[in-house]
Amino acid sequence: MQADLGIDEDEEKEPVALAKVSARSLSVYYGDKQALFDVDLDIHANQVTSLIGPSGCGKSTFLRCVNRMNDVIEGCRVEGSIRMDGHEIHAPEVDVVSLRRRVGMVFQNPNPFPKSIFENVAYGPRIHGLSRTRSDLEELVVSSLERAGLFDEVKDRLGEPGTSLSGGQQQRLCIARAIAVGPEVILMDEPCSALDPIATARIEELIDELRATYAIVVVTHSMQQAARISQRTGFFHLGVLVEEGETSKIFTNPEDARTQDYITGRFG
């Protein structure tokens, strides 16, 4: 499922062709303030990449660059390159709507639309024209809810408002909504920070299951969570990607002293 971003096959292939998304020399400015400094980071398919770091370190900024959600923020300027499957996502020919179809996003606070559960999931496929008939659409909604592990809980009340669900269910509804348009990458911005521990465990399991299909990036404040769910971890500090690598290595044998200090709880 490779939607065309609207550009020809790129001339120069990146050496890290395996990476689903690769950022190079990425800098982001909010007005005069620089939020990200020269970040190089690869995101691989079928892996969970977690981004950790103290508040305001730029990890959410990085995340929002991948589906160009920063475009809507006034005064935000992005320099450097992000390539997805070798295509530059900031190229002028790239349609941001098709990009966001391929890069789904789940937010910190569950934000279902104030519509029915069914409509929440059906909205994306509908605006992208993904299903021709009503039964196609219903099938797609059911399978998305199933993959998000929510279907059994809501199958009898698909017509009820999405906002009537519990926080954890709402977050899984948002995941189902993101899955429904068939993305390749899913970005999650602290998806569990508003949830209780049981709902968090449920989401973490789900993230692990979804890894089989998608490249997943999770921003998290919880180092334990990063250690539990991710294969690779990036540590941001003051807008700089300090260290990036295998999760097990980052948490047991970090190279940088700042990473060491952060994971042992000396700051942050």
Partner 1 sequence: MSSPGPAAARLSEDARTRRRHAADRRFRLYGLSAVVLALLALVALLGSIAFNGLSAFRHHQLELEVTLDRETLGLPDGPVDVSDLRGANYMGVIRERLRALHPEVSSRKEKRALYGLVSSVAGFELQQLVLADPALLGRSVRVALPLSDESGRYLKGDISRETEESRRKLNDRQLDWIDAWRDQGFVQSAWNTRFLTGGDSREPEVAGLGGALLGSLWTLLVTLALSFPLGVAAAVHLEEFAPRSRVTDFLEVNINNLAAVPSIVYGLLGLAVFLNFMGLPRSAPVVGGLVLALMTLPTIIIAARAALRAVPPSIREAALAVGASPLQVVVHHVLPLALPGILTGTIIGMARALGETAPLLMIGMVAFIADPPSGPLSPATALPVQIYLWAESPERAFQELTFGAILVLVAFLLVMNAVAIILRNRSEKSW
We find the least distance from the C-beta atom of residue 38 to partner 1, in angstroms, to be 26
Options 115, 193, 221, 245; binder of partner 1; rule CB under 8 A = 115
Residue with tokens 């049981």: 198
Options 22, 61, 67, 171; binder of partner 1; rule CB under 8 A = 67
Q: Does 60 bind partner 1 (CB under 8 A)?
A: no
Q: List the structure tokens of 220.
A: 């998290």
Cα–Cα distance between 141 and 147 in angstroms, integer?
Answer: 10
**For partner 1, which is the closer residue by CB, 28 or 179?**
179
Q: Does 84 bind partner 1 (CB under 8 A)?
A: no
We find the least distance from the C-beta atom of residue 232 to partner 1, in angstroms, to be 23
Cα–Cα distance between 31 and 129 in angstroms, integer?
Answer: 37
Rounded to 10°, the helix 197-210/167-180 angle is 20
**Residues numbered 175-214 forming contacts with partner 1, rule: CB under 8 A:** 177-178, 180-181
Kindly state the helix (H) or strand (E) to which residue 22 belongs, with its residue range.
strand 19-30
Q: Which stretch binds partner 1 (CB under 8 A): 29-37, 69-77, 233-241, 255-263?
A: 69-77
Cα–Cα distance between 213 and 215 in angstroms, integer?
Answer: 7
Phi, psi (degrees; rounded to nearest 5) at 184: -110, -25
We find the least distance from the C-beta atom of residue 175 to partner 1, in angstroms, to be 12
Q: Does 59 bind partner 1 (CB under 8 A)?
A: no
Whether the Cβ atoms of residue 126 and residue 172 lie closer than 8 Å to each other: no
Options 77, 114, 249, 257; binder of partner 1; rule CB under 8 A = 114
Whether the Cβ atoms of residue 224 and residue 48 lie closer than 8 Å to each other: no
**For partner 1, which is the closer residue by CB, 174 or 241?**
174
Options 49, 50, 78, 104; binder of partner 1; rule CB under 8 A = 104
Q: Which stretch binds partner 1 (CB under 8 A): 24-32, 66-74, 134-142, 151-159?
A: 66-74
Q: List the structure tokens of 58.
A: 């730029």
Number of residues that bind partner 1 (CB under 8 A): 28
Q: List the structure tokens of 146.
A: 């199933």
Cα–Cα distance between 112 and 179 in angstroms, integer?
Answer: 14
Rounded to 10°, the helix 167-180/117-128 angle is 20
Whether the Cβ atoms of residue 243 and residue 260 lie closer than 8 Å to each other: no
**Residues numbered 122-181 forming contacts with partner 1, rule: CB under 8 A:** 123-124, 127-128, 161, 163, 174, 177-178, 180-181
Q: Which stretch binds partner 1 (CB under 8 A): 64-72, 191-199, 244-252, 257-265?
A: 64-72
Interface ranges with partner 1 (CB under 8 A):
67, 69, 72, 74, 97-98, 100-101, 104-105, 107, 109, 111-115, 123-124, 127-128, 161, 163, 174, 177-178, 180-181
